[in-house]
């Protein structure tokens, strides 16, 4: 059994009865929508035509929101309905990033995620979803796609149907008949800052202006591009500065012990240890910034009181959960490293170096797989993300250790070594950034996000803050000598923070619906 929807856009009159019925049946709060009707127009007056699009959760057979949800608050039922349990939700907003269809929202009353759940409570009582019952034109058809005698199965088998974003591989179960392709595809729409009967939220207007300024989408004479003229409000940047800051603090936390572990392994190969790994600096930095990383992660939850659900109700397929276990294991090894140094058992470092280095790399790199599960954001699907995060850890760790070495009056005694690692990492990072932003992109949305960074809204902070101030100038200062490398380390850390924040924001600036 696989429940799904067919929406016959040839019959839809844009009356919003489905939206109203959904809100009444499921007590959806003001400003939030589980199903909504979007109006788009094509052509130029007087040859203009309006199209309607009924949008909602697609109850995907391979639902990214179910995979990324860290507490199994989202799950697929045996009948194919993708349902949710608000009592398990921690409000991490990962499902909003995983969904390519912009179908999830945060309920302001409960601070938990919510979406269309096919009126599962009605289905269990033998009733149809509220939107199906109320539609005056019978434009919404529900039923079992696996039953060849059901009306929905006959329509899907006999009509020319289409789905939204088939390229995502989610296998959606909402099929459209007679829909205009441009009306279902945000990349084929030229966004407008105003609507006919509604005012767009300020955050949406800002994003529209950012995209319009790129100048890469213009209506042609044939009106190939669609213009949205009415839509429901959507969440702008579900992940904000805290997520960018989390990437930055995690880079320092992971990089500090990663550099120390590499030093021990290289020194151990010759039978001795470099002096500085025997100082408590690296594990202390790792633990302090690991604590800051944890604070940022918990603070970004809409339900921080439920953060322990990651451990007690964890979803083993979610990299949010896997990452949590990696962070805890890394913290334990950093504590052992610190204990070995404080108690004078420096021989333990030869034993701890390899597992500590491996867990440091895992701490830095697991976010690549987490963002990979955020399938709604094409820009975050870059195969270069993992090496970028590892290089960022080397930048964060070596720069932080260099600064501590300078503050302690060179007592650590490895400023030149730190400067060498930092300079090398900065060169590699510059190559990685140019490859990621300047190369070919897998999708139009990913390319537009990259253009926002290199030529659009974020260009100033990227070229001056990341490339000039955070990369080229630090490299030049490091080349001068260890003393000049100190301000270079400060600039490198600032540039790294600007990049992480920019990367997070640009990836969420492309509309999903």
Domain segments of the chain as ranges: 3-230, 241-507
Q: Which fold has domain 3-230?
A: Alpha-Beta Plaits (3.30.70)
In CATH terms, the superfamily for domain 241-507 is: Formate dehydrogenase/DMSO reductase domain (1.20.1630.10)
DSSP H helices in 300-379: 309-312, 319-342, 348-373
Quote the pLDDT of residue 274: 75
Q: Is the pTM of this model over 0.75?
A: yes
Q: Do domains 3-230 and 241-507 have the same CATH topology?
A: no
- Read off the pLDDT of each residue in 205-214 and give the average, rounded to a whole number: 88
Q: Residues 206, 210, 213, 218: what is their CA dihedral angle, to the nearest 10 degrees? A: -90
Mean pLDDT for the chain overall? 93
Q: CA-CA distance, 135 to 141, in Å (whole number)?
A: 10
Give yes or no for a contact between 139 and 11, defined as CB atoms under 8 angstroms apart: yes
- Residue 222 reports pLDDT greater than 80: no
Q: What is the pLDDT of residue 164?
A: 96
Q: In the structure encoding, which two tokens stand for residue 466, read together?
A: 């990341």
End-to-end CA distance of the chain: 28
Distances from the Cα of 377 to the Cα of 62, 408, 442, 491, angstroms = 16, 43, 12, 29
- Check if the beta carbon of residue 337 is closer than 8 Å to that of residue 257: yes
User: What's the pLDDT tens digit per position in 19-52?
Assistant: 999 999 999 999 899 999 999 998 888 888 999 9
436-448: average pLDDT: 90
| Interacting residues of 295 by C-beta distance below 8 A, sequence separation 6+ | none
Binning pLDDT at 50, 70 and 90, where does residue 272 land?
A: low
Picking from 187-196, 381-390, 415-424, which range would have the lowest pLDDT averaged per residue? 187-196
Retrieve residue 158's tokens.
């006999």
How much is the pLDDT for 223? 47
What strand order describes the sheet that includes 161-162? 140-144, 3-8, 174-177, 161-162
- List Cβ neighbours of 332 (8 Å cut-off, separation of 6 or more): none
% of the chain exceeding 70 in pLDDT: 96
Q: Cα angle vertex 507, ends 42, 72, to 5°?
A: 105
């Amino acid at each position: 059994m696989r429940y799904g929807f067919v929406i016959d856009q040839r019959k839809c009159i844009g009356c919003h009865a489905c939206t109203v019925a959904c809100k009444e049946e499921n007590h959806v709060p003001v400003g939030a929508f589980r199903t909504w009707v979007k109006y788009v127009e094509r052509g130029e007056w007087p040859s203009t035509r309006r199209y309607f699009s009924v949008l909602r959760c697609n109850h995907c057979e391979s639902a990214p929101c179910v995979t990324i949800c860290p507490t199994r608050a989202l799950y697929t039922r045996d009948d194919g309905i993708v349902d949710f349990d608000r009592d398990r939700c921690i409000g991490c907003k990962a499902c909003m990033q995983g969904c390519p269809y912009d179908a999830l929202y945060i309920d302001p009353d409960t601070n938990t995620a919510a979406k269309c759940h096919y009126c599962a409570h009605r289905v269990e009582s033998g009733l149809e979803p509220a939107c199906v019952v109320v539609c005056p034109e019978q434009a919404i058809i529900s039923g079992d796609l696996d039953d060849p005698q059901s009306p929905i199965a006959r329509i899907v088998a006999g009509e020319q149907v289409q789905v939204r974003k088939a390229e995502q591989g989610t296998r959606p179960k909402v099929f459209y008949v007679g829909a205009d392709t441009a009306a279902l595809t945000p990349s084929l729409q030229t966004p407008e800052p105003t609507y006919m009967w509604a005012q767009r939220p300020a955050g949406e207007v800002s994003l529209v202006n950012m995209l319009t300024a790129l100048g890469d989408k213009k209506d042609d004479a044939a009106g190939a591009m669609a213009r949205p003229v009415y839509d429901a409000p959507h969440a702008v940047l579900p992940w904000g500065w805290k997520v960018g800051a989390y990437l930055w603090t995690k880079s320092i936390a992971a990089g500090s012990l990663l550099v120390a572990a590499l030093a021990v392994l290289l020194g151990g190969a010759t039978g001795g240890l470099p002096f500085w790994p025997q100082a408590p600096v690296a594990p202390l930095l790792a633990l302090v910034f690991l604590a800051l990383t944890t604070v940022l992660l918990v603070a970004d939850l809409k339900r921080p009181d439920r953060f322990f659900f990651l451990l007690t109700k964890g979803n083993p397929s979610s990299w949010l959960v896997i990452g949590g276990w990696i962070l805890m294991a890394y913290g334990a090894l950093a504590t052992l490293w610190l204990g070995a140094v404080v108690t004078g058992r420096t021989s333990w470092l030869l034993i701890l170096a390899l597992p500590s280095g491996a867990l440091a790399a895992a701490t830095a790199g697991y976010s690549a797989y987490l963002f990979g599960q955020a399938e709604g954001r094409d820009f975050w699907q870059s195969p270069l993300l993992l090496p970028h995060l590892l290089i960022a850890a080397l930048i964060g760790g070596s720069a932080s250790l260099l600064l501590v070495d300078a503050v302690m009056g060179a007592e650590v005694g490895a400023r030149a070594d730190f400067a060498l690692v930092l300079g090398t990492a900065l060169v590699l990072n510059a190559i990685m950034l140019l490859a990621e932003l300047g190369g070919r992109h897998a999708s139009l949305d990913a390319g537009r996000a990259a253009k926002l960074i290199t030529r659009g809204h974020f260009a100033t902070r990227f070229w001056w803050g990341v490339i000039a101030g955070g990369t080229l100038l630090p490299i030049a200062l490091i080349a001068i000598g260890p003393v000049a490398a100190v301000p270079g380390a400060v600039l490198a850390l600032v540039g790294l923070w600007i990049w992480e924040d920019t990367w997070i924001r640009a990836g969420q600036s492309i509309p999903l619906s």
